[in-house]
Amino acid sequence: MDDLNVKNQPALKQFVPTPPRPPRKSEKGIFGTIRHRCFNSIGNSLLTLCVATVLFYLVKHVLDWAVFNAVFIADNRRQCMDISPDGACWAGVISWFNGLIYGRFPVDEQWRVNIGVLLGLVWLLPLMSKRIALRNFILLSWIGLYPFVGAYLFLGGRFGEELGLVHGAMTCLALAFLTIIYANWILSSLGKKGLNELFVPLVSRLVERRIHLLSFVAVWLLVALVIASGLSQVSLEPVPIERWGGLFLTFIIAGFAITMAIPVGVILALGRRSKLPVIHWLSMTVIELVRSVPLITVLFMAVTLLPIFLPADMEFNKLTQVLVAVCLFAGAYMAENIRGGLQAIPKGQYEAAATLGLGYLHTMVLIILPQALRMMIPNIMTSFISLLKDTTLVSIIGLFDIMLMARNIANDKDWVGMHTEPLVMISVLFFILCYSMSQYSLNLEKRLKVDR
Amino acid sequence: MTTSSGNLAQKAVTETAIKIDKLNKWYGDHHVLKDVSLDISEGEIMVVCGPSGSGKSTLIRSLNHLEEYQEGVVSVFGQPLSRDRQSHKIIHQTMGMVFQNFNLFPHLTVLQNCTLGLTWLRKMSERDADKMAMRLLDRVGIAHLATRYPGQLSGGQQQRVAISRSLAMEPKIMLFDEPTSALDPEMVKEVLDVMIDLAKTGMTMVCVTHEMQFARQVADRVVFMADGEIIEVGPPEQVLVNPQWDRTREFLQHVL
Ligand SMILES: Nc1ncnc2c1ncn2[C@@H]1O[C@H](COP(=O)(O)OP(=O)(O)OP(=O)(O)O)[C@@H](O)[C@H]1O
Ligand SMILES: [Mg+2]
């Protein structure tokens, strides 16, 4: 009967959509905008003028002290005062610059620090390439293998003597992995298969399954052997850990804390949600205990208590203890961040994963954690930034990080009582580091937002 | 009214795909499934309807153990299911499910959503998995959207991706829990068309839906549920046109 109704009505009008037109653009330009925003009424104009004057005086004084009246070349603080009594004395910072960066690392061996840090960055470079074999393992290898290379470079020593056998072997494996990644990068840009596929034809004749894995392992071991034979010829001057310091040490501690925060945090967060009571309570205790105590206390506990709990013949240096403490601290805070992210994932995601047949590990690693971590990027970055700043606390337990080095300047007989300038310099340095971190996180967020 | 065009008529011998025997479930003291028994044959299209809160979702989600139940047995192809590994394996190998609100993985592209199970569970090579997923996406008419993310698709498109994702695991039985309820009327048809196509391939389907037109067109049998009980089961022309119970008639007056 609906059909009948339609027939009796007059012919329908045809709908034609209105053609689109571009939006109107504002034609004010920068001066127009300023006038419109800041001088649109008498009150606002006065306010703008006041703020501008205050700003001008502030900036002028800061610049006068830091740049125009500052002394850059002098032998000691006396000279600085004589040249310009009310300017900054950057000469002191400059003469201590090396110490601020490298601590008391022997000057002749400082190239090793540079190489080590550079290698750490170079390791991550291939991440830029989208299609490269083993790409998924670059970050993993950086976390798991790079520390061995770094430690080898910074500590020095000969294979089998100062350098333990395990450490030596891991160093070779790490360098071999790096070589393979770079070879793959070059090969993939040439349109060829990765180096790890080299032995596939050979292996496929011997076994049926896991051909690619076995081929990769074979190539890896081969390259590692070549590197080992090379490295066993060189001997680096041993540098004791006590001489590490400055920004270099700060980077080591903060870098370690930041990279370990997520794995430790994920394990603790998942542990806390676990249905097994032992795991649940253990994770919860660790998280709550560490979170309710200041970092300084955690650090002191690590240095004084840890040796008591451990067997007497197991002796750790201070740095290792600090690293363990910082890692726990970072992990506990991160665990709560991640837990927040996990709670925000709707139940439907778990159900969809379950109906596809994904088990717990697959569901977590492929579906839940990527979303939870992505959601939490701002919080995670905030934690990273405060971690970077918090690591300066290690100076309190006597590690010569950048903070302690800066305070040392004031004890130097040439620069007695010079406190302000080193601290200003450190502030600027940390501002640059932290600001670029937060900018990076904004960028990351924007890039990952596309898929929401 | 046209007669049902289901597959059952053409099939000479049919095996029982799902056998539900005296299923009982409580939420606390709330008895939501009361002695529900039902046999579903292989290749059968079963539509489940009923008022809100009657336990339709609970029933269909009990079949693949998304919900636990306290009493009763569900058997799939003769295998009684329990909570052990073996049962899980059977469930995942034989049953796929499509949800009301799609539940696509928002951080993966459409194609990745479909290939996830293939590459990680079936250990299929990436190329084979892509090929298979593209074939399925093509079948539901959204192959051109393969590189988009779910958030960039309309509801109807998302639901079709969800169907492809389930189909990729090559299930023998498909469960649909109100697949079109979250969609605008214009998109309902594109999803129903995909489901009708699927029905023609001989897939065993259990659909909770309020689309009576769909039920009439493809269902072999319609189940009417109310208050946790199955009140009527039968071919659509019987249950939907000549219901035996007052409760069914009352419901149909509201829906039709
Ligand atoms: N998690 C829960 N906890 C307690 N009660 C629940 C829960 N989920 C469902 N119920 C109850 O179980 C009954 C059946 O719910 P179910 O979701 O199966 O209904 P439905 O038939 O699917 O309804 P709808 O058409 O609205 O989806 C309802 O009375 C509901 O209130
Ligand atoms: Mg429901």
Instruction: Report residues near ion ligand 2: CB below 5 Å.
Output: B 57
Nearest CA in chain B to A368: B105
Closest ligand 1 atom, CA of B51?
Answer: 25
Is the distance from CB of B8 to CB of B34 less than 8 angstroms?
no
Task: Report how far apart, in Å, the C-alpha atoms of A122 and of each of A30, A111, A118, A119, A177 are.
Answer: 42, 16, 6, 5, 13
Q: What is the pLDDT of residues A208-224, one digit of tens each?
A: 777 888 888 889 999 99
Is the distance from CB of A363 to CB of A353 less than 8 angstroms?
yes
Residue nearest to atom 18 of ligand 1 (CA): B55
pLDDT for B31 beyond 90: yes
Q: What is the mean pLDDT of residues A380-406?
A: 87
Name the β-bridge partners of B233: B223
Is the distance from CB of A231 to CB of A171 less than 8 angstroms?
yes
- Given this model, what pLDDT does residue A315 score? 64
Closest ligand 1 atom, CA of B100?
Answer: 27
Comparing A105-114, A336-345, B3-12, which segment has the lowest mean pLDDT?
B3-12
* Other C-beta atoms lying within 10 Å of the C-beta of residue A181: 25
Question: Could you tell me if B109 lies within 8 Å of chain A, comparing CB atoms?
Answer: yes
pLDDT for A43 beyond 90: no
Q: What is the pLDDT of residues B33-55, one digit of tens each?
A: 999 999 999 999 999 999 999 99
Is the distance from CB of A257 to CB of A387 less than 8 angstroms?
yes
- Chain A: nearest CA to B256, how far in angstroms? 15
Q: How confident is the model at residue B6 (pLDDT cuts 50, 70, 90)?
A: very low
Helix or strand run (H / E) with residue A92: helix A90-95
Q: What is the mean pLDDT of residues A436-447?
A: 88
pLDDT for A5 beyond 70: no
Q: What is the mean pLDDT of residues B147-157?
A: 92
A-B contacts at Cβ under 8 angstroms: 63
- Given this model, what pLDDT does residue B193 score? 93
Is the distance from CB of B40 to CB of B16 less than 8 angstroms?
yes
Question: Could you tell me if A451 lies within 8 Å of chain B, comparing CB atoms?
Answer: yes
Query: Which one of B103, B104, B117 has the shortest CB-CB distance to A357?
Result: B117
Instruction: Report which of residues A46 and A23 the model is more confident about.
Output: A46
The overall average pLDDT reported for chain B is 89
- Given this model, what pLDDT does residue A396 score? 83
* ipTM, two decimals: 0.92
pLDDT for A9 beyond 70: no
Taking an 8 Å cut-off on Cβ atoms, the answer to whether A349 and B105 are in contact is yes
Closest ligand 1 atom, CA of B55?
Answer: 18
The Cα angle at residue A351 between residues B123 and B80, in degrees rounded to 5: 80
pLDDT for B2 beyond 50: no
Is the distance from CB of B45 to CB of B6 less than 8 angstroms?
yes
Which residues in chain A are contacts of B161 at CB distance < 8 A?
none
Q: What is the pLDDT of residues A141-157, one digit of tens each?
A: 888 899 999 988 998 88
Q: How confident is the model at residue B12 (pLDDT cuts 50, 70, 90)?
A: very low
Taking an 8 Å cut-off on Cβ atoms, the answer to whether B103 and A354 are in contact is no
The overall average pLDDT reported for chain A is 86
Q: Which ligand places an atom closest to the C-alpha of B69?
A: 1
How far apart CA B88 and CA A360 sit, in angstroms, is: 13
Q: Which amino acid is at A314?
A: M
Instruction: Report which of residues A105 and A3 the model is more confident about.
Output: A105
Q: What is the mean pLDDT of residues A372-377?
A: 89
How far apart CA A265 and CA A271 sit, in angstroms, is: 10
Residues in the ligand 1 pocket, defined by CB under 6 Å: B 27, 30, 32, 50, 52-58
Q: How many CA atoms lie within 13 A of A243 on its CB side?
A: 14
Instruction: Report which of residues A451 and A26 the model is more confident about.
Output: A26
Distance B226 CA to ligand 2 centre (A): 12
Q: What is the pLDDT of residues B54-102, one digit of tens each?
A: 999 999 999 999 999 999 999 999 889 988 888 888 998 899 999 999 9
- Given this model, what pLDDT does residue A333 score? 92
pLDDT for A417 beyond 50: yes
For chain A, list the domains and their CATH numbers: 26-71+80-95 (no CATH), 106-238 (no CATH), 260-452 (1.10.3720.10)
Is the distance from CB of A119 to CB of A148 less than 8 angstroms?
no
Instruction: Report which of residues B119 and A302 the model is more confident about.
Output: B119
Which residues in chain B are contacts of A354 at CB distance < 8 A?
66
Q: How confident is the model at residue A340 (pLDDT cuts 50, 70, 90)?
A: very high
pLDDT for A194 beyond 60: yes
Which residues in chain A are contacts of B99 at CB distance < 8 A?
348, 351-352
Question: Could you tell me if A213 lies within 8 Å of chain B, comparing CB atoms?
Answer: no
Hunting for tokens 């199955």 — which residue is that?
B230
Q: What is the pLDDT of residues A45-96, one digit of tens each?
A: 899 899 999 999 999 999 988 888 888 888 888 888 888 888 888 888 888 8
Instruction: Report which of residues B204 and A310 the model is more confident about.
Output: B204
How far apart CA B167 and CA B76 sit, in angstroms, is: 18
Q: What is the pLDDT of residues A252-279, one digit of tens each?
A: 999 999 989 999 999 999 999 999 999 9
What's the full length of chain A, in residues?
A: 452
Is the distance from CB of B109 to CB of B71 less than 8 angstroms?
no
Helix or strand run (H / E) with residue A166: helix A165-189
Can you list the alpha helix ranges (DSSP code H) found in chain B? 56-63, 85-94, 110-120, 126-139, 155-168, 185-200, 212-218, 236, 246-255
Taking an 8 Å cut-off on Cβ atoms, the answer to whether B99 and A371 are in contact is no
Structure token digits, residue A97? 């610059």
Q: What is the mean pLDDT of residues A97-101?
A: 88
Query: Which one of B97, B101, B106 has the shortest CB-CB distance to A355?
Result: B97
Q: What is the pLDDT of residues A276-309, one digit of tens each?
A: 999 999 999 999 999 898 888 888 888 887 777 7
Q: What is the pLDDT of residues B166-181, one digit of tens each?
A: 999 999 999 999 999 9
Closest ligand 1 atom, CA of B50?
Answer: 21
The predicted model scores a pTM of 0.82
Q: How confident is the model at residue A338 (pLDDT cuts 50, 70, 90)?
A: very high
Helix or strand run (H / E) with residue A312: none
The CA-based dihedral angle spanning residues B24, B27, B32, B35, taken in that order and rounded to the nearest 10 degrees: 10
The Cα angle at residue B146 between residues B142 and B147, in degrees rounded to 5: 145
Task: Report how far apart, in Å, the C-alpha atoms of B28 and of each of A61, A351, B32, B69, B153 are.
Answer: 72, 22, 10, 12, 39
